[in-house]
Chain A
Amino acid sequence: MNADPQLVTRAQSGDEAAFNELVAGCRKRVLSIVGRLIGKPEDVEDVAQDVFLRLYFSLSQLSNAELFDRWLYRLTVNAAYDYMRKTKRRKESRMADLSEAQMVMADASAGQLQGKSDERQSTLRDFVHWLLSGVSEEDRILLLLKEVEGLSIKELEAVYGANESALKVRLFRARQRVLKAFEKSKEVKGKDGESRSTTG
């Protein structure tokens, strides 16, 4: 995001134009992160607006303008977490057709997804959401920040205010759970393939 510290300081002093400029500078990034974290495109804008609402009212608490990016990450994570807690999307998201998703997964693991149709991309998203539905909202967000957003452990430490070892343990456990679900889905795929070949 890399916001200009001077702009942050001006926004902190109540300059509305500076706040507008600040939002314009990091809006796209926030929208993308929120989109990947909550996985519901129709609600992304609403959650992103909530992030900037929180930013407006908490900007005065930011002691150092240099730390703005971490601050914004934290606000984004909190807003996404609150949204997910409200909607309890884990219970809603169940894969209707897992075998279709597994085909997409196979493509994805073979690196052949590029150029595929929107429908396949949507199925891939659904499959990842399904995989992540086995872990808590907090762990899901943590895992996505690490694996999808590419944040380092040091950056995660700053966002969460937790120590390195605690984060590593949490990430390891969450990843193990996701791997188990991944393995299970492969077994289902194998059985599905066998039954298809016998009936065919």
Chain B
Amino acid sequence: MANQDQQLDELLRSYRAACPEIDASANFMPSVWARIEARKKSDLWLVRWVNSFATAAALIVMGLGFLLYQNPIPLPQRAYIEKLTDEISEDHFLDASYVASAKPAKFWSDR
């Protein structure tokens, strides 16, 4: 196993030597800058799109606010909780006099 380890090390070292030295073409740097510019442009387009979307959203919100201000929706006279309390007080199960007058239920008859 140790021998194989050594052989593998040797092989990988030879691989390094067998890989050709690659030199950049004359067009390398211009291509890098072209890619940078293209990326900048696409980023700029995205920023512009996001900005216009945010502006449109803000304008819609302002327009709706203005419409609501011009035609206010009347608020209900009584709050929901007040109306609910009224209904509960009218309920028989919560009426003490009704509970007192009610006969107890018989579950079995006397023998």
The interface of chain A, by Cβ under 8 A from chain B, is 20, 23-24, 27-28, 31-32, 35-36, 41, 44-45, 48-50, 52-53, 56-57, 105, 108-109, 111, 113-114, 121-122, 124-125, 127-128, 131, 147-148, 175, 178-179, 182-183
Least CB distance from B76 to A in Å reads 55
CB nearest to A108 among chain B residues: B14
Interface residues of B in 1-23 (CB under 8 A from A): 1, 4-5, 7-23
Determine which residue in A53, A57, A175, A183 has the highest number of CB atoms from chain B within 10 A of its CB, and name it: A53
Cross-interface CB contact of B19 among A35, A113, A183, cutoff 8 Å: A35
Residue of B5, B21, B36 contacting most chain A CB atoms (<10 Å): B36
Contact between A108 and B10, CB atoms less than 8 A apart? yes
Q: Which B residues touch A41, using CB under 8 A?
A: 20, 22
Q: List 26 A-B contacts (CB under 8 A).
A: A23-B29, A31-B24, A32-B19, A32-B22, A35-B20, A35-B22, A36-B15, A36-B19, A48-B24, A49-B31, A49-B35, A50-B35, A53-B35, A56-B36, A108-B15, A113-B14, A124-B11, A125-B15, A125-B19, A128-B15, A147-B12, A148-B15, A148-B16, A179-B1, A182-B8, A182-B11
Chain A, residue nearest B7 (CB): A109
The answer for the CA separation of A24 and B28 in the assembled complex, in Å, is: 10
Q: Interface digits, B91-103 against A, CB 8 Å rule (1 contact, 0 not)?
A: 0000000000000
Interface: B25 (CB within 8 A): yes
Q: A53-B35, A109-B11, A183-B4 are in contact. Are A121 and B18 (CB under 8 A)?
A: yes
Binding site for A on B (CB under 8 A): 1, 4-5, 7-25, 28-29, 31-32, 35-36, 39
CB distance from A123 to the nearest CB of B (A): 9
A28-B15 contact in complex given A179-B4, A183-B4, C-beta closer than 8 Å: no
With A23-B32, A31-B24, A124-B15 as given contacts, are A178 and B8 in contact (CB-CB < 8 Å)?
yes
Query: Are A49 and B22 neighbours in the complex by a CB distance under 8 Å?
Result: no
Task: Point out the residues of chain B lying under 8 angstroms from A27, CB to CB.
Answer: 24, 28
CB distance from A73 to the nearest CB of B (A): 17
Roughly how many angstroms separate A111 CA and B13 CA in the complex, as a whole number? 10
User: Across the interface, which residues of A come within 8 angstroms of B9, CB to CB?
Assistant: 147
A50 vs B19: C-alpha distance when bound (angstroms): 21
For B10, the closest partner residue in chain A by CB is A109
Report chain A residues within 8 Å CB of B31.
49
B4 to chain A, nearest CB (A): 6
Q: How far is the CB of B1 from chain A (nearest CB, A)?
A: 8
- A99 to chain B minimum Cβ distance, whole angstroms, is 16
